[in-house]
Structure 1
Amino acid sequence: MQKLTQIITLSVALTVVSGCSYVGVYKRDIPQGNLVTQEMVSQLEPGMSQEQVTYVMGKPLLEAPFDASQWDYVFRLDQAYGDVEQRRVTLTFDPQGRLANIEQEGDFSAPLLLDGESSIGPAAEGIDPLDALPEESTQTPIPPSEQPVSQP
């Protein structure tokens, strides 16, 4: 009986240590597509040219291959320990290339929390990740009027 208990204990221990879902795994948020915010969409107005729309929104993720009058801006955020958030803006242009219609899908009222902009990734345990950053130079640059001039 004691040998059976040892075998079961060893089997359970190996299962937990082998990488099953009982042990935590590092996950990252995965943003994909064009970043689309409410501020960007609020700048769009019917009658804008395609160049003006590109200036505000950037190049579209999807253009209809046979009809360039519809542009789709899709943003998808797969949160590591949460849900998937998707935003989509579909812009339709008239034959003269002017913005005619704006359609939105998704929740644009909630702010997007993209941690990748401020974090530098996972660090080893016990190490401050900010210590790994290169230090900025504290020396002040010499103005051009005070730099030494070499004479031929």
Structure 2
Amino acid sequence: MQKLTRIIALSAAVALMSGCVYKRDIPQGNLVNQTMVSQLQTGMSQQQVVSIMGRPLLEAPFDAREWDYVFQLDKAYGDIETRRATLTFDRQGRLADIQTEGEIDNSLPLEGDTELGPATDSSDDFQAQPLDLGVGTQSQ
């Protein structure tokens, strides 16, 4: 009887613990912020745009003159925040139009930024050390 009670208590504890799932914010796509968008000017070449914004997440399949930079932040305990910048180029490959959707600013409000996570070492004297695997080195 005592063994059965332990098994039931252990099963109940495991069932309760499985409900405590750690959730985190999941950023996806190209990070689009106000600093990047404010550097864009009409008349820029595609290469200049790539140097500021990076490669686009989406290029229109039939008309490569439209580039979409999409960023989504799937908040752990909330909604999905979407930022989008659509850049249109003329026939010569020069930036002709910039359209933005969502709140394009310089902040990235991740929920875990203010608290220590489960894998964080909070000691002040912790120093990360490079891991030497000996790959590519020869002993002499």
TM-score over 0.5 for the pair: yes
Q: In the superposition, relative to structure 1, how do residues 110 and 82 fare at CA in structure 2: closer, same or farther (>3 Å)?
A: farther
| Paired residue type of 2:121 | P
- Which residue does the alignment assign to 1:129? 121
Matched AA of 2:56: P
Stretches of structure 1 lacking an aligned partner (at least 5 in a row): 1-9, 138-152
Cα displacement (A) at 1:130: 4.3
Q: State the shift of 1:96 in Å.
A: 0.3
2:52 corresponding residue in structure 1: 56
2:80 corresponds to = 84
Q: Highest CA radius of gyration, 1 or 2?
A: 1
Distance 1:51 1:115, change over 3 A: farther
Mapped contact 2:26–2:76 kept (Cα < 8 A): yes
Superposition deviation, residue 17 in structure 1: 4.9
- Cα deviation, residue 117, structure 1: 8.5
Match of 1:41 among 37, 40, 63: 37
Aligned residues: 120
SS in 1 for 2:84: strand
Which one has more relative contact order, counting CA pairs under 8 Å at least 6 apart? Answer: 2
SS in 2 for 1:18: helix
Whether 2:26 is the aligned partner of 1:30: answer yes
Runs of 5+ consecutive residues of structure 2 not aligned to the other structure: 1-7, 131-140
Q: 1:59 to 1:77 in 2, by over 3 A?
A: same
Matched-pair identity in %: 58
What displacement does 1:54 show? 0.3
Amino acid at match of 2:79: D
Contact 2:83 2:104 in 1 (8 A): yes
- Which one is further off, 104-113 or 94-103? 104-113
Partners of 2:81 and 2:33 lie apart in 1 by 13
RMSD: 3.3
